[in-house]
Amino acid sequence: MPIDDVAAQDRPRHDWTRAEVEALFDLPFAELVFQAAAVHRRHFDPAEVQMSQLLSVKTGGCAENCGYCSQSAHFDTGLKAEKLMPASDVIAAAMSAKAGGAQRFCMGAAWRDLKDRDLPKVAAMISGVKALGLETCATLGMLTADQAKALKAAGLDYYNHNLDTSPEYYPTVVSTRTYDDRLDTLAHVRAAGMSTCCGGIVGMGETRSDRAGLLQALANLPEHPDSLPINDLMPVVGTPLGNSQPVDGLEFVRTIAVARILCPRSIVRLSAGREHMSREQQALCFLAGANSIFIGGKLLTTANPEVDEDQALLADLGMRPMTMANEATA
């Protein structure tokens, strides 16, 4: 293929149709993974993986009714609500994360939206973590335009706000926040000059068409997500989705591959759910274009592989941490 054609092929598109995305999902598995791997190699070093660590800085008691979430006040999951952590404790955890190999430190609070009264405390966390030389990320619920600007001023690099699933399936999962609410917060984040971290969850009873719809919605945003996490549901007893049947492992790999093709320059994160994935499935995800993971034995409230397990896996695969320069210019 001529060089100009390759460049045109990988130019980010924002006009994907559902039929086009479903056609990618329907490709023979080997062909789909081959195409995704080729796209990945044109923009990233396939031996590099970006390393993030996530900390719940305010756990439980959330007013939202997201059907997958252990932290919702609507469900009895046995999780005790806690207050916002002191900034000093968060910064200490970030120091430990950096020592363990994390490049980005993500702070999550179980809120429907960020309250102005909590903004100074959150800003202190962000600036303290940033001072350690780590990239900063936060997920705090919905934001106003002014709050987004304040977080940017505090040193926040990324803001996570997932779309969760397709627009059609979304009301089945959550009713206390609309799809447009999520899109509005993402618009505020982009306008403030922050990078977006935005993806979704599979394994919530959705169809392949819904998975295609999620990726279509992400790819057709005004700007592709800078980080695109694909979560495999970790069912939580007591939530409406606590008895969900898992998505087939090869179907999950297909989802990673399609995400890579649709958003060629995004960091695609193999996110929650690695705890129940085999080493072989994770390796296929990396082959299909995933190039980011969460490290550390815990995500917000669910299990994650221990650091030594990840180190052994990456060593066996011949992979290494992504250099910050490569991430910034990918």
Please indicate, yes or no, if residue 196 is contained in any of the structural domains.
Answer: yes
Q: Is 69 a catalytic residue?
A: yes
Radius of gyration of the chain (CA): 19
Give me the domain span that covers residue 135: 16-329
Task: Note the pLDDT tens digit of each residue in 49-95.
Answer: 999 998 999 987 788 887 788 777 787 777 777 889 999 999 999 99
The catalytic position among 182, 211, 269, 274 is 269
Question: What's the domain count of the chain?
Answer: 1
The catalytic position among 66, 198, 263, 285 is 66
Q: Is 274 a catalytic residue?
A: no
Q: CB-based contacts of 96: which residues, under 8 Å, 6+ apart?
A: none
Q: What is the 3-state secondary structure (H, E, C) of the chain?
A: CCHHHHHHHHCCCCCCCHHHHHHHHCCCHHHHHHHHHHHHHHHCCCCEEEEEEEEEEECCCECCCCCCCCCECCCCCCCCCCCCCCHHHHHHHHHHHHHCCCCEEEEEECCCECCHHHHHHHHHHHHHHHCCCCEEEEECCECCHHHHHHHHHHCCCEEECCCECCCCCHHHHCCCCCHHHHHHHHHHHHHCCCEEECCEEECCCCCHHHHHHHHHHHHCCCCCCCEEEEEECCCCCCCCCCCCCCCCHHHHHHHHHHHHHHCCCCEEEECCCHHHCCHHHHHHHHHCCCCEEECCCECCCCECCCHHHHHHHHHHHCCEECCHHHHHHC
- What gap in Å lies between CA 60 and CA 329, rounded to an integer? 37
Task: Note the pLDDT tens digit of each residue in 180-201.
Answer: 999 999 999 999 999 999 999 9
Please indicate, yes or no, if residue 3 is contained in any of the structural domains.
Answer: no
Please indicate, yes or no, if residue 229 is contained in any of the structural domains.
Answer: yes
Query: Which pTM was predicted?
Result: 0.91
Please indicate, yes or no, if residue 124 is contained in any of the structural domains.
Answer: yes
Please indicate, yes or no, if residue 10 is contained in any of the structural domains.
Answer: no
Please indicate, yes or no, if residue 1 is contained in any of the structural domains.
Answer: no
Q: Is 285 a catalytic residue?
A: no
The catalytic position among 62, 198, 263, 285 is 62
CATH number, domain containing residue 205: 3.20.20.70
Q: Is 263 a catalytic residue?
A: no
The catalytic position among 106, 198, 263, 285 is 106
Please indicate, yes or no, if residue 202 is contained in any of the structural domains.
Answer: yes
The catalytic position among 69, 198, 263, 285 is 69
Task: Note the pLDDT tens digit of each residue in 83-105.
Answer: 899 999 999 999 998 988 889 99
Round the average pLDDT of the chain to a whole number and report it.
89
The catalytic position among 104, 137, 198, 260 is 137
The catalytic position among 182, 197, 198, 274 is 197
Phi-psi region of 165 (alpha: psi -120 to 50; beta: other; left: phi over 0): beta
- Rounded average pLDDT over 160-185: 94
Under the banding of pLDDT at 50, 70 and 90, the label for residue 244 is: confident
Q: Do the bridges between strand 104-109 and strand 135-139 make them parallel or antiparallel, or are there none, so unpaired?
A: parallel
Please indicate, yes or no, if residue 162 is contained in any of the structural domains.
Answer: yes
Q: Is 269 a catalytic residue?
A: yes
Q: Is 62 a catalytic residue?
A: yes
Q: Specify the range with the lowest mean pLDDT, choosing from 2-16, 222-236, 240-254, 256-270.
A: 2-16
